[in-house]
Structure 1
Amino acid sequence: MPILVLAVILIQGFCLYHCSQSGKAQHWFYILLLLPGLGSAAYFFVEILPELASTRRGQRVVGDIATVLDPDREYRERKAQVELSGTPAAKAALADECARKSMFDDAVTLYRSALTGHFADDPNLLLGLAKVQIEQADFAGCQQTLDDLRSKNPNFASQDGHLIYARALEGQAKNDEALKEYDAVAGYFAGFEAKVRYGLFLLKQGQVAKANELLQGVVATFKQLPRHAQDLNRDWYNVARRNVEG
C-alpha cells in the first residue's frame, strides 16, 4: 500500500508540474489536487497522450502502449483486410506485421502469394520479401530475391535494398563482395544504419582503425544534429557509441 500511495503522489506531482510548465487551463490544478488518482488519469489521457501523439517519439510511445494493451490488434485488422480484399498490398501489410511478430514463415508465404500475375515482378513486393528473408537469416534466398529484383527492374533504386544486399553477402561470408557493397551504400545512405553496420563488419574483419573512424564519425555527427534528427538516429548512434574504441 505505501508503494501505491507513493506512486500516486509521484504521478500527481508530475502532472502538476507538466500542467504548470505547459500553461494548461487552471481548472486542471483543482482536478489534480482534489482527485489525485482519477484526476491524474484524466489529465494523462486528455492532455499528455494527444501531445505525445503529435511527435515522432510520442507516436512510438503511444504505439508501444497500444501494443502492450492489445498486442494482436494490428494483426487481426490486417488479416481481416486480406480476407476481405486479398490484394497484394493487403498481403504485404499482413506480411510485415507477421515479420514484426517474428512469424517469418507466414510472412514469406504471404509475400510469395502476392508475387503472382501482374505483380510477379513487383519491385516493392520483392524488396519486402528480401527484408523478411534477411531477418529470417535466409541470406542466400535474400540475395537471390534481390538479384531477381534488379534483373527484372533495372531502373528501380532502393538504399534499403542495397544495404540488405550487403548484409546478405556478409551472412554468407562473401566478405570481399560485402566489403564492396558496404563501402558503396555507406557513402549515400540517409541515416546512420549503413555506416554503423559497415563499421561493425570492419571490426569483425579486424580493420579496427577504419571501423573506429566510421563509428567515431557517427558519434560526432550525432551530437551536431537538431533534436528531431537525433530522435530518428538515436538507436544507431547508441550502437556506434557502444562499439567505438578509444
Structure 2
Amino acid sequence: MPIFFVLSIAVQVICGIHAVKTGRERWLFIIIFFSLVGCLIYFFVEFLPDLRHQPATQKAGSGLFKLLDPGRDLRGLRDQLTRTDSINNRKALADGYVRAGLFKDAIDLYQTCLRGTYVDDPGIMEGLSLAHFFQENYAGAKQYLLQLKELQAEKTPHEFKLLLARTYEELGDRENALNEYMNLLRLHSGEEARYRYALLLKKMGRTQEARDLFQAVINETRIQPKFYRRAQKKWVELAKKEI
C-alpha cells in the first residue's frame, strides 16, 4: 500500500475524530470526500485556532516570544505605565527590570514608589532589597531588609530572611549571618539555609560542624517526600561535593 495513501487515511482519521469530539460533525463530508485538501482546510479553519487557545500551547508560545524578543514584557509594562501612571504599574515595571537584570533602573523606579500610603510597602522594600543585593550594594540591601524585618517581624517571607543572612555574610558580619542562618534552620525553611550555614562554618575553619551539616542536608532530604527531594536537589548535589 503506497505510503502517501496510508498517510492520507491517517490524517483523515485524526481530523475526523477531532471534528466529532468537538461537535463539528458538519466537517466530516469535507474531510472524507476532499481527502487531504479537506483536511488542510479543516486544520487551518478549526484545528489550529483551537491549538492556539490551549494553555500549554499559550505557555510555550509565550516562552518562544520571550526567547526571540526578550524585551517584549518590558515594553508591555512600559506601555502600561504610560497609559496609567500608578504606583502599582511603576512597581510592576520595576519588578520587570529586576527580572531582566536592570537593577539600577529597578532601584530608581522603586524609589519613586515610596510615598504616601506606599512609603512602608513591604512589596516595594522586597524589590529594593533584591535589586541592591544583586547589584552588589549590600549596605543598601541591608537597609531595606532590616526595615522589612521591623515591619513584618515573623511574617517576613523565608526567602528574605535568607537574603538578610547572605547580606550579612557579604558584608563580613559573620556573627549576624550565623544567627540568621540558625533562625532559618529552626523554621525548617529548606536546605539552602542549611547548606549556606555549613559553607560559612567551613570558611571559618569549623570543619567538623560544617561536615555534619552538609551530611544533614543529604540525610534530611532523603527521608522527605518526592516533591521536597526534587525541590532541594540542587543543595543536595552541592552538599555531596563538600563531603
Partner Cα distance (1:223, 1:78) in 2: 43
User: 1:110: which partner in 2?
Assistant: 109
Give the conservation status (yes or no) of the 8 Å contact 2:148–2:156.
Answer: no
2:127 maps to amino acid: G
2:124 maps to what in 1? 125
1:185 matched residue in structure 2: 184
State the alpha-carbon separation in 1 of the partners of residues 169 and 239 from structure 2: 19
Alpha-carbon deviation of 1:52?
A: 8.8
Letter in 1 for 2:104: D
Query: Which residue of structure 1 aligns with residue 34 of structure 2?
Result: none
Q: Any idea what the Cα deviations from partners look like across 1:61-82, whole Å, max 9, x if unmatched?
A: 8775443232122222222222
**For residue 92 of structure 1, what is the aligned residue in structure 2?**
91
Residues 1-246 of structure 1: pairs in structure 2 closer than 5 A: 27=14, 65-153=64-152, 156-241=155-240, 243-245=241-243
Q: Cα offset for 1:142?
A: 1.1
Letter in 1 for 2:204: Q
Q: 1:119 to 1:72 in 2, by over 3 A?
A: same
SS for the counterpart of 2:238 is helix
Tell me, in whole angstroms, the C-alpha distance in 2 between the residues paired with 1:63 and 1:232: 24
Identity %, equivalent residues = 28
Instruction: Name the TM-score, length of structure 2 as normaliser.
Output: 0.68
The structure with higher relative contact order (CA 8 Å, sep 6+) is 1
Residue 190 of structure 2 aligns to a residue whose secondary structure is coil
Q: 1:194 to 1:93 in 2, by over 3 A?
A: farther
Checking the alignment, whether the CA contact within 8 Å between 1:186 and 1:198 is kept in structure 2 is no
In structure 2, the gaps of 5 or more residues are 1-12, 16-46
State the distance in 1 between where 2:65 and 2:131 align: 24
Task: Give the direction of change, closer, same or farther, for the CA distance of 1:213–1:154 in structure 2 (3 Å limit).
Answer: closer
1:113 to partner: Cα distance: 1.1
**Residues 67 and 206 of structure 1, relative CA distance in 2, 3 Å threshold:** farther
What 5-or-longer segments of structure 1 have no aligned partner? 1-25, 29-41, 54-58
The alignment covers a number of residue pairs equal to 200
Name the counterpart of 1:5: none
Cα deviation code 1:36-59 (max 9, x no counterpart): xxxxxx9xx96xx96698xxxxx7
Q: Give the 4+ runs in structure 1 shifted more than 4 A.
A: 49-53, 61-66, 152-156
Q: TM-score w.r.t. structure 1 length?
A: 0.68
**1:162, 1:181 within 8 Å by CA — same for their partners in 2?**
yes
Shift of the alpha carbon at 1:182? Answer: 1.2
